[in-house]
């Protein structure tokens, strides 16, 4: 494979989906960039992410059929990324997707030449954004923010993007990080 796989990770509320939406818009005319949508066992109307909904039984069926290149469980939900990413990578595309840092070691084991972007924001900003999202209780938000982030896999190239001020400024930094990873990415074995 000759493409570049770039998982986007960071705490809930950091703005990963907002930055991905802007990148999707700005890179719409670039046929070498693909954005993988996640399959999630959370109904589509239950959040801001433009994901595909699967019931638990349907998710289990798709998983058993080998339809997912990557999958993980987090916070009582199941997430999957379609195998189409392998086709995109095989023809040299850059593939971006909202990933889980807690499961990045598995993603890295499957795709050892991947490069990650980490979106960060301070705890006060995260708390404010999570409260506005209205998906979790105050207790859940406090627990989420105080949880330590798991370590990155050794040797994984990462670029950190702060999303604490103007979204447009963070978006410019995010797009620059995508470009930097694309230029530096080795070919997949």
Using one digit for the tens of pLDDT, what is the confidence trace for 177-189? 999 998 776 654 4
pTM: 0.86
What percent of the chain clears pLDDT 90, i.e. is strictly above it?
60
Condensed to tens digits (0 to 9), the pLDDT of residues 69-84 reads: 999 998 789 999 999 9
Name the nearest CA neighbour of 47 among 19, 91, 17, 76. Answer: 17
> In order of start, what are the domains of the chain with their CATH numbers?
4-184 (3.40.50.300)
Q: Answer left, alpha or beta for residue 15, where phi above 0 means left and psi between -120 and 50 means alpha.
A: left
> What pLDDT digit, counting tens, does each position of 15-48 carry?
999 999 999 999 999 999 999 988 888 776 655 5
């Amino acid at each position: 494979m000759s493409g570049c796989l770039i998982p986007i990770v960071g705490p809930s509320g950091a703005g990963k989906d907002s930055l991905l939406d802007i990148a999707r818009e700005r890179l719409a005319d670039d046929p070498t960039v693909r954005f993988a949508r996640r399959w999630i066992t959370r109904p589509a109307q239950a959040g801001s992410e433009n994901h595909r909904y699967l019931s638990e039984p349907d998710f289990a069926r798709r998983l058993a059929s080998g339809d997912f290149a990557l999958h993980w469980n987090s916070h009582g939900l199941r997430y999957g990324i379609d195998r189409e990413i392998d086709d995109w990578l095989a023809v040299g595309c850059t593939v971006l997707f909202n990933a889980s840092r807690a499961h990045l070691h598995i993603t890295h084991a499957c795709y050892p030449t991947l490069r990650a972007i980490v979106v960060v924001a301070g705890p006060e900003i995260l708390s404010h954004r999570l409260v506005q999202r209205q998906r979790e209780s105050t207790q859940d938000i406090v627990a989420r923010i105080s949880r330590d982030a798991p370590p990155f896999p050794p040797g994984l190239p990462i670029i950190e993007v702060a999303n604490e001020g103007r979204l447009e400024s963070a978006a410019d930094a995010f797009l620059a990080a995508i470009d930097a990873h694309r230029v530096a990415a080795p070919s997949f074995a």
